[in-house]
Amino acid sequence: MNSSSKNPRREFLGKLATGAGTTLALPALFSSLNSEGAVDTGSPAQADEWFKKIKGKHRIVYDATEPNNGFPVIWSWVFYKSNNETGSTDSELTALVVFRHHGICLAMEDRIWEKYKFGEMFKVTDGTTNAPAIKNPYNLPIDPRMVAMGMDGIKMLTSRGVMFCVCDIALTVMAGTAAKALNLSPEDVKRDWLSGLLSGVQVVPSGVWAIGRAQENKCAYCYAGGN
């Protein structure tokens, strides 16, 4: 038995670093998941109903393909702040954030971050320790930049009307990758991740599906995934 097989978590993180979970890995991952049964996260019709919450004259969708130092969350706050300063109230605004690809980690609570070492997995650093984050640093902000500016995190932004959703396909792929590396059931890992979604986060069939629906609902598009 080689050293990597003795340490599945290290093997998992290594695979992520070299690009596992990307398009090239999709067929095998879906085959594995399908053999164990899919997790029902709701129909597209239910997600379409959620999009009816979009309101107001000023609308924007942030395409969050990566954590990107929290900018999908930060820019949502900036959108509300700058519109407030130019005379628009929160009731006239909608920012919608689509967590997809590696950005899905921002949709989950601290328990999941700590249990699956999301800071290492998704390369998110805790700004107060400079170590891999063990909790979601953008739900209740601990990022020094956000604290210094008095920025709202995901929880407060949700209460103000910002809409957050997460890609079901990305959840399936990444949960499958994690399960294989840790010798767990893909179904069980995905179910655990779904149980750990932040309050108000909507599961959508795919991130690109949600981007399309947002634009059909007159949301301006902003890429928030970084380089």
Which CATH superfamily, name and number, covers 57-109+149-223?
DsrEFH-like (3.40.1260.10)
What pLDDT sits at residue 142? 85
The mean pLDDT value of the chain amounts to: 86
78 or 20: which carries more pLDDT confidence? 78
Per-domain boundaries in the chain: 57-109+149-223
Q: Quick one: average pLDDT of 159-171?
A: 97
Distance (Å, whole) CA 192 – CA 189? 5
3-state secondary structure 124-175: CEECCCCEECCCCCCCCCCCHHHHHHCCCCHHHHHHHCCEEEEEHHHHHHHH
What pLDDT sits at residue 225? 95
For residue 98, give the nearest of 206, 16, 194, 220 by alpha carbon: 206
Distance (Å, whole) CA 196 – CA 1? 34
What pLDDT sits at residue 143? 80
